[in-house]
Structure 1
Amino acid sequence: MPPTSPGSLLHERPRRSFVAASLATTWWTLWRSADFSDSSWWDGIPASQTCLQGEKSFQAVCRCLNYAHGWVPDGIRQQEGSQLCFPQPFGSRNADASDAAPPREADPEDVPSGHNRSYGAVKSRSAWEIRGEPWDLFVEAGVSAGRQLFALVFILVQVLGPHSHENVMNCDPVRCGWYLSIFCEYTKAYVRCFPLLAMAVSLMVATRMVLNHRIYYQLLKHDLLISFDKSNHASEDPLFRLLLWCFANAFPHFIINIWLAHREAFHLVKLGDLASSAQKLMAANVLHDAHQVAVFYFVPAIVFLLFLFSSYDTEALLLPLSKFFEDDFEASRTALKRVRFMRESDVAARVQKGLQLKGGDGATVVDAFQELADAAATDAPAVVARTSRLQRADKQGREEARLRVTWTMWPARLLLDPRLSDKDTVIFRCLWHAFLAVIGLLMLVVFYCLSCQVLKDFGDVWSGQLPDLAGILVELGHFGIAAYLCLMLFRHSLVNEALR
């Protein structure tokens, strides 16, 4: 073999470097353009070409092959990608698989919920998962409560504002008599207290909506489906019935006011001649006054009640089944096969009893839901119906005695548990406390208005207007109910740790 001159070596080394650089650039381009999240990309490459057991430099590639066929958190891909998922020079120390750090176990919170399919470098979330995010839930509840509060504020301005004397009746005993004056003050108190109590109930229902929607989506992300009790309907709620009672007692006040203001016109009404009677009532502005009452009080009140009634139906506002299959039909169908079913009454009883949470102060929602699944979940809804039918009779008497809105605050004990330390739960707790601060300010407005009205009526009684005592009793009753609702709300939310 002829000796190699130093000059030829000088020409050969740049050539080898150029070839090596070209190969490295080509390999890097192919690597960056390949979609490793698609398992079909690897299925078309023979194992002999992908994992060469004799070459250490390909061990990193083999490891990335294993990653492509299973889910790997984004943090591991970014942390280990530069060391394990890119080709290293031959003989490099980092290319030795024995020197590479083993991957950490996947955090349960990093695993995409419901679907355990292969993911690439960017983790995507489905549309229904986004609906269960804390911010979206609070915005949804705020919009729902805002529509109701807008109607109530419109009423409050009319019955408690500076021109309220033009819209409510003057209950002077000289004008309407002693007994009618007492009834007038009684109904006037309902006219003023109805929007204030309705505001407190509306805020309670908004918090209930946030909690129920949050627990539903969190359970669904962990392959659990909860069935809410039908008794959560508005017709079964004592608070909604109480609002209807207040509204019904406010109605006679305006009837009496219109009748006393146009007493002479009503005496001219003849049932046999409705056309002429209507003309006489129109001439006396009776219909005009009735129209004003309907516009400033009854129409906003009915709109509020309709909005409130619709917000009670929790399941109607949740995820439609078509949305669940919208993003990935096959993966969603596979996830749906793993779903286990639970009844709200069973889950609530387990939560009220208290969860053990094996992880202690470092527990996550995964630990909590696993404990719930072991205690209350089943594979078939029919089994849930049969097993709970016997328990329903025993619980019926106790549940009917409770206020449904406060009883359905049970998700707060789970979602706000201070032992849960995962990031998503901490964010929800922070937003919940901010939400409570807003609710607290609105409740202060309710208590301020009620207190001012009670003090004003006490002053009237002190000056000799005894019929105002009927109004004071009604106002104190509304004050007590609003205080009870506020106490129950903050008790379930802020002293969660003491209740355990």
Structure 2
Amino acid sequence: MSSAEESPPEAKPLSTGEQAQHESYGALGAADGNQATTTSWEAEYASPWAILFNTLALVGYQIVAMAIITYQVFYRRHYVMSCFHNELCTWQLWACEYTKAYTRFFPLIAILISMSLARSMILIQRMYYELLRHGAVLQFREYQTDREPVFYILTFCFVQGAANWVLDAFTPGTDSRYWTEPTPYMSPTEKLRQGMMYLALPMTAFILSIYFTHEPTYYLVPLSRYLHASTSEGSEAARRSLAGLVLVHEDFIAPAVKHIEVPVSSDPKEADGATRAVYRELIKTAQDLEGGGSVMMGKKRMIVLKSQITDRFWPARLLFNLELADEGSQQFRLVSRFYDFVCIFAAAVCAFIFIQHAVSEFCDIQRGEIEDSAALVVEDRPVRLAYSSGSIALGLMLGPVVGAGLSHEGFSAAVRVCAVLSLVNWLFVFSSLAESENVLLRRQPKEESRSALESLPRLAWPLFFGAFLGNAGIAAAESCGALFVMDSYFRGSSSAAAESTQFFAYNMMISGVLVIMITNFVFPMLMHTLRQQKTMFLGVCLRIVGYAGLGLAPTKWCFLASQLAVVTGDSLAAPNLSALLTEVVGKSSYGIALGTLSTFQAAARVLDTLPFATMYEKVSHSAPFLTVAVLAVASGALWFVVYWQMQLQSFRTTALGHAMPAEIPTRSGYPVSCLQDLAPMPAETLLPDPFEPDEAPHEDAEVHGEADEVEECSSDHGGLALPPLLREINDTIREDALCGMASSSPSPLPRALANPGQWCWFNAVLQALASINDPRWWEILRSVLDGSHEERGGYCEGPKDFPACLASVLLYINHEIALEPDCANSVVCNLAKAIAEECGLSSACGEQQDAHEALIQILEALHAGLLKRQLNAILLLQRPAWDPLHPWLVRSASWARATAACRWFQELWQGTLEERRVCSACGLVKVDVCSSRQAFRCLSLDMLQGGQLSFSIDLASLLHQSYGGKGVEEIEGLVCSRCSARASRQRCLQEALRGSLVAQKACRRLATFGDAIQEAEHLSLLCPAGSPEPLLCRTTHFRSFRIHKAPAILTLHLRRLVHGPWGLVRLPNPVRCPAAMVLDKALHSYALASVVSHLGTANQGHFIAHRAWHPRAQTEKEALPKSYLPLVTSGKVDLWCPVLASLRFLRSWRAGCLVRESEVQRRTWVCADDDRVFETKLWQVLSLPAAYLFVYEHCAIRDG
């Protein structure tokens, strides 16, 4: 088993013993020349499955290395340089793109090389063991690494890929380039270190694994294992076994395979003998070629560019010959077919990832955006369609069972039951369609609905044709499935028809169960993790593999596995197809689109049956299924084409921040598609002009001022005055932006919210939040709603994140948006779901929640959502602008809006406390006003002051005692820095008197700087090495709190629960709260906005809200500030538009509204008790016996 020399050895004639051994089957001889014997080494090394597993174990290192590289390159992309044209010069840009191509190409070419190497290992091992079983030893040619082009290709790709992350490491300004989250700055050394760890090491490991696994002698059976059976009989038997082996060189056995003719054997019993004859003839032909020397030794040395890995595919000509009908050859072909399927699937996945990565960046360049900056958000529509598919599969499973039961009652009874079920189905569908049509007619104009019903979009027709091609598999299964099972697997049986029918029925039943499991459990999880695009790709791949497996399945169990793969692929692909169709067409065309889709699917089942049956009879039994596999590729390709077109249109539409459907016309009749480049910014999101005076001028003067501003802009900054047509368009779009708010008439009372169970805390907190009158609060809520939210179909289909849900519900409560009853319920349910996900608070199972905790959690979730939007706006602002007409106006406006919302939220809801601690031993006073450690959103007040409880408590005095610096709390065991410094200095002084120089030095330092140390743990900095350790003295401190910075909205919480002898006890004492509370006459004055009360005991109860009612909808349109709505005409750009818009968004609001105390007393107050809202009086609110939460607004109170 040693490697060959530079030239093959001379021919060696067979001896008598060798001829005798050659005539027997097996290298160790056989008792019967016509019967093969299987030794232990054959079962361990030579079986086809053992060869496959040994090969996969050897290439496992390569698989792990490629998995790491693929994850780093294609998913995390942390070590692939981003080629920003605005950050790199020309040569850096070209070098970046050039080297990044090799970084992407390395995993793909490496996986192909690894699969090719594994294939050659499988073939060469099988041929080696077959020759060894027939008395010959295959001598391999020497593998020369310096003549292998694969190593040159891998090394070249590795060097170019390494140049990419080296260039990235030493190129500044490319740290915040990742699409998931900004990355902190890393030094070039850190970048190189991480690149070496996550890219260079896996690539090097892969190349070394290729180098060490190319030699086949490393993984063949050892000589001691081969002679194990012979040595057990004695050393003489082992010598005879070795003497009977014939040495055949690879250079002669490879061309001999081409000259071997395999005889056709019709009798399965003669298959083993025919195989032995073939291999004997192969060995004899190789010896003849070796004796004659007729081999091209010189020519093979001249072929340098030919891969030596693929050159060892020569055994495939003989091993894959179908005329070899023995059991071992058939099993080897089955194993090879399995490996081919795995390789094809892996190559397809790798190619798809590679192409998707390149295409995504190409689309980013085409859209003018930074690469990998957009993520697809998939709605729940595919999941709902999957549930529909699961219900259909359940009906298909239960239908035959019900029919079998009814068949005992007679055919007429079964027909009557089917008629009744059809009538019920028709009535249900008719009622649903009628309701849907009425809703659409209410929401859309008649002209629009009629135009939408007359025609379908062009992108819908590829989906219809793709559904036609996809349902061809059902036609093939219906026409040829049962016959294929009977002809392929039950031909020799006496009752082939019955057995095949029974197997096919079980197959369909298992498929139905699998459909229900996938649609209800697996599909929603995949949509959540992989998203729509990858789920569809997985479904298409399973379809292709499954249909190909149906046609090539060697056993009935392989047929069953392939059928399950097909069913899984259909369950993943069909809902995505229908969901994409509903996204392509308008809402008014849903019925026609889905009906047309069903028509194409039914046509496929009708028209494709006859061609597949003819193909089954005339061509081959597997031809229909292989044809369907090809059609599945075309169907999936059509879906992806439409999907990418939709994404491209979506990005083009939302490039200006407007996502209005192209088919919805404006009030003036102009289609929105014609106004995409002229659409202004949403009027409700703009703030007043900072250059305007506080008092509004006369109406005529205001109009005249606007005209002067436009003319001045056109003359000074390069813009043009608006023509009358564009002025009308501008006014129309501005009016459409306010149509939902202006069309709804104000109501005298706020809207109520239903309580389906234990949701009183939810309704009370929302009513309290809706009672706030500060304009900054409502600007925050409007900023989280998209400008095109209403045009996309209402708030029911708006964004499902927490800030948008909260804003929709609060605006709905205060009559600032008008919603249908079903839509309103959907909006409230979306908010409840978002609170359950973000805050972990829910009463879906009857749990009782605390209103105070809910308020804090809701505010924190809202703050997190605003910060996330600000981060997204910053990332959006960093994108290069490719549109010369709109450089960065919309992006800067979005960033300014998000930044202002975050700043306003902090001003409204976050205050700072001043913590004062006084040491009882030394009198050290320590004041902490850190905005992070002492921040608060809600202040909790103890009703027990000094262990005593008054019958009637005043809220203002309670707040003054708790957070006015008067309430003192005694805390024991706190470390005092001054006491610790004095004790440490005394200890060092004692050591210094004993002659310690280090202690003397520490004593001087402590005497000089000891009192300046704020933290006792920092005293060790003053003590040099060798000095005594500093002492930490714990003393009693007196702590008090004071409001250092009050928020604009002051929320107070009463601790009504105290620990009594028998557990928690609720304090029922009433609390007097002032309508106007003055904390500081200069700045801190507050007006009561709402009160949340808790009625009940310590363990259960009910929450209600009393709130101030400020009707805003009736004056919203008139109170809307005049905004600067820039338009671009004639290709000229107003360069001052971004600056003016940013200044308006960055304008600060006043500290508080100036009101009289009498106006606070005259406010309208209502009581919101879930679904009941009624008017109440202020004097009743000020002395509620069960008040729990108080919400005050900052305002400037003046007498009068």
Give the equivalent residue in structure 1 for 2:279.
369
User: 1:403 maps to what in 2?
Assistant: 307
Shift of 1:327: 2.8
| Of 149-158 and 312-321, the range deviating more from structure 2 | 312-321
Equivalent residue number for residue 416 of structure 1:
320
CA contact (8 A) 1:190 1:250 kept: yes
**Superposition deviation, residue 375 in structure 1:** 0.9
Tell me the equivalent position of 1:115: 28
Contact 1:224 1:373 in 2 (8 A): yes
Judge conservation of contact 1:187–1:249 (CA < 8 Å) in 2: yes
C-alpha displacement at 1:348, in angstroms? 1.3
Which amino acid is the alignment partner of residue 246 of structure 1?
C
Alignment partner for residue 127 of structure 1, among 30, 36, 41?
41
1:187–1:253 contact (8 Å) kept in structure 2: yes
Determine if the alignment matches structure 1 residue 176 to structure 2 residue 88: yes
Answer 1 or 2: higher relative contact order, Cα 8 Å, separation at least 6. 1
Q: Which residue of 1 aligns with 2:329?
A: 425
| Residue aligning to 2:227 | 325
Deviation at 1:262, TM superposition (A): 8.9
Code of the residue aligned with 2:316 in structure 1: it is A
Tell me if the contact between 1:155 and 1:300 (Cα under 8 Å) persists in the aligned partners.
Answer: yes
CA distance in 1, matches of 2:295, 2:41: 38
In 1, Cα distance between the equivalents of 2:119 and 2:63? 14
Answer whether contact 2:30 2:37 (CA < 8 A) is retained.
Answer: no
CA 1:126–1:419: 2 relative to 1, 3 Å:
same
Structure 1 vs Structure 2 CA RMSD: 3.2
Q: Quick check: which has more Rg, 1 or 2?
A: 2
State the shift of 1:114 in Å: 1.1
In 1, Cα distance between equivalents of 2:52 and 2:315: 15
Answer whether contact 1:348 1:410 (CA < 8 A) is retained.
Answer: yes
| Aligned residue among 102, 109, 113 for 1:201 | 113
Kindly provide the amino acid, as one letter, of the partner of residue 243 in structure 1. L
Deviation at 1:389, TM superposition (A): 9.4
> In the TM superposition, what is the alpha-carbon distance from 1:464 to its structure 2 partner?
6.8
Match of 1:249, SS state, is: helix
In structure 2, the residue matched to 1:342 is 248
Cα 1:411–1:366 change in 2 (3 A) is same
Which runs of structure 2 are paired with 1:29-48 in the superposition (5 Å)?
A: none
8 Å contact kept, 2:127–2:315 = yes
Structure 1 residue 179, shift from structure 2 partner: 1.6
More strand by share: 2
Q: Name 1:253's counterpart in structure 2.
A: 164
Work out whether residues 129 and 217 of structure 1, in 8 Å CA contact, stay in contact via their aligned partners in 2: no
1:117, 1:331 within 8 Å by CA — same for their partners in 2?
no
The answer as to whether partners of 2:131 and 2:138 remain within 8 angstroms in 1 is yes
Does residue 1:226 correspond to 2:138, yes or no? yes
Cα distance change of structure 1 residues 181 and 418 upon mapping to structure 2, 3 Å threshold: same
Look up the SS of the partner of 1:377 in the other structure.
helix
**CA distance change for structure 1 residues 432 and 331 in 2, over 3 Å: closer, same or farther?**
farther
How many Å apart are 1:144 and its aligned residue?
A: 1.9
Cα distance in 2 for partners of 1:389, 1:354 equals 13
1:450: Cα distance to partner? 2.0
**Cα deviations by residue, 1:365-397 (Å, 9 ceiling, x for unpaired):** 31221121121127xxxx95x965973013433
Matching of residues 58-457 of structure 1 within 5 Å: 113-118=26-31, 125-127=39-41, 130-161=44-75, 163-164=76-77, 166-231=78-143, 233-261=144-172, 285-329=187-231, 330-351=236-257, 353-359=258-264, 364-377=274-287, 391-397=296-302, 399-457=303-361
TM-score normalised by L of structure 2: 0.26
C-alpha separation in 1, matches of 2:119 and 2:186: 48
Tell me which protein shows more helix as a share of its residues. 1
Report the AA paired with residue 153 of structure 1: A
Alpha-carbon distance change, 230 to 152 in structure 1, aligned in 2, over 3 angstroms: same
Deviation at 1:361, TM superposition (A): 6.2
Q: Contact 2:251 / 2:295 at 8 angstroms: preserved in 1?
A: no
Distance in 2, matches of 1:142 and 1:376, equals 31
Maintained 8 Å contact 1:144/1:311: yes
Distance of 1:339 and 1:122 partners within structure 2: 17
Name the amino acid aligned to 1:437: F
Change over 3 Å in CA distance of 1:408–1:117 after alignment to 2: closer
Which residue in 1 is equivalent to 2:525? Answer: none
Query: CA separation in 2, counterparts of 1:209 and 1:175?
Result: 48
Aligned-pair CA distance for 1:463: 4.9
Change in 2 beyond 3 A, CA 1:247/1:431? same
Compute the displacement of 1:284 (Å): 7.2
Q: Secondary structure at the match of 1:341?
A: strand
User: Helix, strand or coil for the counterpart of 2:247?
Assistant: strand
1:171-205 Cα shifts (integer Å, max 9, x gaps): 22332211221111110111122112101110110
Letter of the structure 2 residue corresponding to residue 332 of structure 1 = A
Return the offset for 1:405: 2.4
2:169–2:189 contact (8 Å) kept in structure 1: no
Amino acid at match of 2:197: V
Question: What amino acid sits opposite 1:208 in the alignment?
Answer: S
Task: Give 3-state SS (helix, strand or coil) of 1:335's partner.
Answer: helix
The CA distance in 2 between the partners of 1:458 and 1:335, in whole Å, is 65
CA pair 331-229 structure 1, distance change in 2 beyond 3 A: same
Aligned to 2:507: none
| Secondary structure at 2:248 match in 1 | strand
Q: Which amino acid aligns with 1:249?
A: Q
Q: 1:317 to 1:452 in 2, by over 3 A?
A: same
Could you tell me how far 1:122 is from its partner in structure 2?
A: 12
- Change in Cα spacing, 1:401 to 1:145, as seen in structure 2 (3 Å) is same
Distance 1:255 1:122 in 2: 61
Shift of 1:435: 1.3
Instruction: Judge conservation of contact 1:262–1:284 (CA < 8 Å) in 2.
Output: no
**In structure 1, the residue corresponding to 2:65 is in which secondary structure?**
helix
TM-score, length basis structure 1: 0.60
Tell me if structure 2 keeps the 8 A contact 1:262–1:286: no
Q: Distance in 2 between matches of 1:123 and 1:215?
A: 18
1:112–1:125 contact (8 Å) kept in structure 2? no
In the alignment of these two chains, the number of paired residues is 330
What is the identity percentage for the equivalent residue pairs of Structure 1 and Structure 2? 24
Gaps of 5+ in 2: 1-21, 175-184, 372-551, 553-1200
Aligned in 2, Cα 1:401/1:301: closer, same or farther, shift over 3 Å?
closer
In structure 2, relative to structure 1, the CA distance for the partners of 1:157 and 1:409 (3 Å cut) is same
Q: Distance in 2 between matches of 1:123 and 1:361?
A: 23
Q: For residues 318 and 234 of structure 1, what CA distance do their matches in structure 2 show? A: 20
Alpha-carbon distance, 1:323 to partner: 2.4
Q: Partners of 2:100 and 2:299 in 1: how far apart?
A: 42
Q: Distance in 2 between matches of 1:123 and 1:338?
A: 17
Change (3 A) 1:401 1:159: closer
Q: Which residue of 1 aligns with 2:865?
A: none
Offset from partner CA, 1:382-420 (integer Å, 9 cap, x none): x95x965973013433x4353322221111111111010
> Matches of 2:281 and 2:322 in 1, distance apart?
17
